[in-house]
């Protein structure tokens, strides 16, 4: 399970990096074209577009971090439950072995 969590985390980070690079390239291209702050054939202001893209990038980064933290927390909780189950199973096995030993004698 923890290996799968690690794979998902790595994939999430890779996709976030790709998206970030793509958005930064768009921002850079718009900035270099000299169109920032101007109107382009009736479209919204490019400066507003860049601001919106930056806000989207910031929100996606925050979402990624939130999901990553949630994934780590869930993984830790799962490990605790698994450990608890192992302890319970060992205790039950010990208890059961004591019962079996008690019945295995000639006293019954």
Over residues 1-32, the pLDDT tens digits come to 667 777 877 888 888 888 888 878 877 777 77
* Cα–Cα distance measured from residue 59 to residue 47, given in angstroms and rounded to the nearest whole number: 18
| In-domain check, residue 43 | yes
| In-domain check, residue 95 | no
Which band of pLDDT confidence, cut at 50, 70 and 90, is reported for residue 42? very low
Give which of 31, 24, 23 is closest to 47, Cα–Cα. 31
| In-domain check, residue 91 | no
| In-domain check, residue 98 | no
| In-domain check, residue 17 | yes
| In-domain check, residue 97 | no
| In-domain check, residue 105 | no
Q: For 43-50, what is the mean pLDDT?
A: 69
pLDDT tens digit sequence for 59-106: 888 888 888 888 889 888 888 888 887 777 777 777 777 666 655 555
| In-domain check, residue 41 | yes
pLDDT(41) > 50? no
**Residue range(s) defining the domain that contains residue 22:** 2-80
Which band of pLDDT confidence, cut at 50, 70 and 90, is reported for residue 108? very low
Domains identified in the chain, total number: 1
Counted residue by residue, the chain has a size of 108
């Amino acid at each position: 399970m923890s290996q799968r969590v690690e794979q998902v985390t790595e994939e999430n980070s890779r996709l976030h990096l790709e998206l970030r690079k793509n958005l930064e390239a768009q921002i850079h291209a718009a900035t270099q074209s000299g169109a920032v702050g101007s109107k382009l054939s009736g479209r919204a202001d490019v400066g507003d577009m860049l601001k919106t893209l930056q806000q989207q990038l910031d929100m996606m980064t925050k979402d990624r971090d939130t999901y990553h933290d949630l994934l780590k927390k869930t993984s830790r909780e799962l490990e605790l439950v698994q450990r608890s189950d192992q302890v319970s199973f060992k205790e039950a096995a010990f208890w059961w072995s004591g019962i079996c030993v008690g019945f295995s004698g000639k006293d019954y």
